[in-house]
Structure 1
Amino acid sequence: MNKSKNNKLRIEDIKLRFKGNSFFTFKELYEFYKEEEPELKVGTFKWRIYKLKEKGIIRDLKRGVYKLGSFKEFVPVTNSNVEKLYSYLIKAYPDIQIDIWETSWIHDFMNHQPFNSFIIVEIDKEVLESAFYFLKEKRNSVYINPKGNDIEKYISNEKNVIVIKSIIKGSPSKKIKKINIPKIEKILVDIFFESNLFKTYQGQELINIFERVFEEYTINLTTLLRYARKRGIKEKMNNFIVDTIKIKGSFFE
């Protein structure tokens, strides 16, 4: 066959074949190519996968599982309030892991956006109480590991609330603008698991958030489910994604 390298990739055929699929596997893509090239070697096929990713035709969901479209990372816009708060904390606790995020980051994925948002600070449990009092000196509305009554009474109604809690070791995080923030996979698991704290984000809005984040951004399911396992909810998280969000398949670990 005298085809160009691009023709051998069969980009348009791939788009047609897998359009509308939540995902497709290494095996399915290999079988797709073998329909026209029965003798296709695995090594050649792996090179094609690399080229398809490079061109933004497919992206990884996890190892050996792909989705149409290029890689798109969730990168929230951090405001000066979050940046200053992180700066205070990192100067006071320079050798401690600190993650910070704001619930407003997920408001765009909801049908009815909440009136208020709050900031979550996660820090090593050894300095949790010390960091709480440190923040209380600078801000009024700071709550440590809030429970039901506090959430109902204060967090849902007050503005500029800060919630501080202990970080789970090995939580997926990344740096933007020199600030350590949780990855979107962690945020999704947390709002699913901590339904009391994130009460505003439950029910249909939780489904909306998951569906729209999965649609718009590249989500690493291995990262998401590994963190869900740390929180003891891997099976529940798996079932929610498969049964409610309708990402079907047996590729979950």
Structure 2
Amino acid sequence: MQNKIPSYFEGHKPISKNDLVERILEDFPNLKESSINVYLSKLKKQGILKNPTRGIYALKGKQEFYPVINAKLKRLFNKVKKDYPFIDFCAWNTIWLNDLMRHQPFKFYTILELDKDATQSVFYKLKDQGKQVFLEPDAETFELYIHNSDNVIIIKQLVSEAPLLETENVVIPSLEKLLVDMIVDTNLYAAQQGELDFIYQSAFDKFEVNQGKMKRYAQRRNREKEVEQRTNLTLANS
């Protein structure tokens, strides 16, 4: 049966569990549904199938989102971690989004997202060290000071229970978080606003995207309906 499994996923598109079971039964009518369920669980453990959201199956094979962490970002992360060992925070750079875009921005920003209580303290500490740092900048600040500057660090409040991951001992936002945030924070993601459809399509085509994780975070950011509509449109075009 294993050799038949890929044929049930036309163009590698995800399908519902019910549809998958029906297609298996068409080829193997003597199988019991309970036996199929056990076999599907086995294929998940073997890494042949994935279960991106409840009731949906897809073929494994896309990349996991693990962008390159450069030395500069590592140093900044480690510095903040040393000075504030008990806060939750993540660090990243907007250059990571270039892999998902058609038109490449020329300016990139380092982003620190921290617990609310730590944002001002970290801001003043970095400013005292001579860093070009901005705290929760608004549209006017971006226009006047940030868009034409280099080596900018932007500090923002980290939304509680935001989906994060750790790679190379650095905590970074997950792809699901970035996809939701770029719909919410139109100032920080100004360069991406004209390419949201393309970015979503690129993300879903290239990487594993956990739709359940995305939905939960979108709820926390009060953008569930908008994110769901864009996700559904993206999947329909895949």
TM-score bracket, shorter-length normalisation: over 0.9
Distance in 1, Cα, partners of 2:104 & 2:62? 27
Distance in 1, Cα, partners of 2:65 & 2:218? 19
Q: Kindly state the Cα deviation for residue 71 of structure 1 after the two structures are TM-superposed.
A: 5.4
Distance in 2, Cα, partners of 1:206 & 1:83? 28
Residue 63, structure 1, aligned to residue 61, structure 2 = no
Q: Secondary structure at the match of 1:20?
A: helix
Q: Kindly state the Cα deviation for residue 221 of structure 1 after the two structures are TM-superposed.
A: 0.2
1:208-237 CA-partner distances (Å, limit 9, x unpaired): 221111111110000011000000000011
Residue 36, structure 1, aligned to residue 27, structure 2 = yes
Q: Kindly state the Cα deviation for residue 157 of structure 1 after the two structures are TM-superposed.
A: 1.9
What residue in structure 2 maps to residue 251 of structure 1?
none
Query: Hey, which bits of structure 1, 4+ residues long, moved more than 4 A?
Result: none
- Across the aligned residues of Structure 1 and Structure 2, the Cα RMSD in angstroms comes to 1.8
In the alignment, which of 191, 210, 220 is matched to residue 230 of structure 1? 220
Aligned residues: 237
Distance in 2, Cα, partners of 1:65 & 1:182? 25
What residue in structure 1 maps to residue 205 of structure 2?
215
Q: Kindly state the Cα deviation for residue 100 of structure 1 after the two structures are TM-superposed.
A: 0.8
Q: Kindly state the Cα deviation for residue 46 of structure 1 after the two structures are TM-superposed.
A: 2.1
1:32-86 CA-partner distances (Å, limit 9, x unpaired): 1111333422332123213433554432221321222335311011011111111
| Partner AA of 2:107 in structure 1 | N
What residue in structure 2 maps to residue 92 of structure 1?
83
Q: 1:34 to 1:139 in 2, by over 3 A?
A: farther
Distance in 2, Cα, partners of 1:67 & 1:193? 29
Structure 1: tracts of 5 or more residues without a match: 1-7, 249-253
Distance in 2, Cα, partners of 1:221 & 1:173? 15
| Partner AA of 2:221 in structure 1 | R
Distance in 2, Cα, partners of 1:40 & 1:105? 47
Distance in 2, Cα, partners of 1:166 & 1:41? 52
1:141-165 CA-partner distances (Å, limit 9, x unpaired): 2110010101112222211111101
| Partner AA of 1:52 in structure 2 | L
What residue in structure 2 maps to residue 162 of structure 1?
153
Q: Is the 8 A contact 1:53 1:70 kept in 2?
A: no
| Partner AA of 1:74 in structure 2 | F
Structure 2: tracts of 5 or more residues without a match: none
Distance in 2, Cα, partners of 1:242 & 1:33? 26
Distance in 1, Cα, partners of 2:192 & 2:199? 8
| Partner AA of 1:238 in structure 2 | E
Distance in 2, Cα, partners of 1:94 & 1:173? 17
In the alignment, which of 208, 230, 233 is matched to residue 240 of structure 1? 230
Q: Kindly state the Cα deviation for residue 239 of structure 1 after the two structures are TM-superposed.
A: 0.9
Distance in 1, Cα, partners of 2:45 & 2:119? 43
